[in-house]
Amino acid sequence: MRDYRFYPTLTGIFSASIVISNILDTKFFHIGDTAFPGGIIIFPIVYVFGDIFTEVYGYAHSRKAIWAGFFSLLLLIVTLQIAQKMPAASFWHNQSAFDLILGRVTRIVTASVTAYLTGEFVNSFTIAKLKIMQKGSRMSLRFVASTVFGQAVDTSVFLIVAFVGTMGIGEMIRVFISAWLFKVSWEIIALPFSIWFVKWLKKAENNDHLDIATNFNPFKIC
């Protein structure tokens, strides 16, 4: 694969955003009468980056970035488990708080890993196929369409894995609708910047990939 100037930096920001969003998901907050997981503050950025990777670099490079984010999440799980099991220092009296808040991250991250992989690959696949069908035109339409489908999968899988048994079905449905609408709305609001940035990046990287003969197997990392 060809090397690109900005791809490694974008992959790093992408992976960091995924890790941060999972830690933030240990908290819920209200806007009016609607509850949102804390990760929603930053997680829509992940899908914007997913759009950028596929649109500029193609599905294969997007797949590599998705797996980089996946392994970042695994690292978060493992290191949190190790830190939680290590004996607390005699002068440190916050083990219960650590366990209460960050102890939940394991289930949250497990849910997020499952939701993230399915949602991101749906998002990337949708963009790649629509770009072929549209012959590269109507970029804004495929950005929104990919988010509609990708976020529907991601949000529903995340809520089922993370909160079944701890949250009522009615509340889960309300959280799904509000979170999904928020993410899709965020994508639409961010479209002017996304479109501008993608056009700039295509010019800077001298690349506008079209996935004509791409292997869409999500498990083909290399």
Q: Give the residue carrying structure tokens 């099991």.
A: 85
Convert the pLDDT of each residue in 165-222 to its tens digit. 777 888 888 888 888 888 888 888 888 988 999 999 999 999 998 898 888 888 876 6
Tell me how far apart the alpha carbons of residues 56 and 132 are, in angstroms, rounded to a whole number. Answer: 13
**What domains lie within the chain, and their CATH numbers?**
7-205 (1.10.1760)
Q: pTM for this structure? A: 0.82
Tell me how far apart the alpha carbons of residues 54 and 152 are, in angstroms, rounded to a whole number. Answer: 19
CA distances from 99 to 81, 93, 94 (A): 10, 12, 9
Residues with Cβ within 8 Å of residue 174, at least 6 apart in sequence: 34, 35
Convert the pLDDT of each residue in 28-86 to its tens digit. 888 777 777 788 788 777 778 888 999 999 999 999 999 998 899 888 888 888 988 89
Q: pLDDT-based confidence at 104, cuts 50/70/90?
A: low
Helix (H), strand (E) at residue 50:
helix 43-52
**Helix-, strand-, coil-residue percentages of the chain, each rounded to 5:** 75, 5, 20
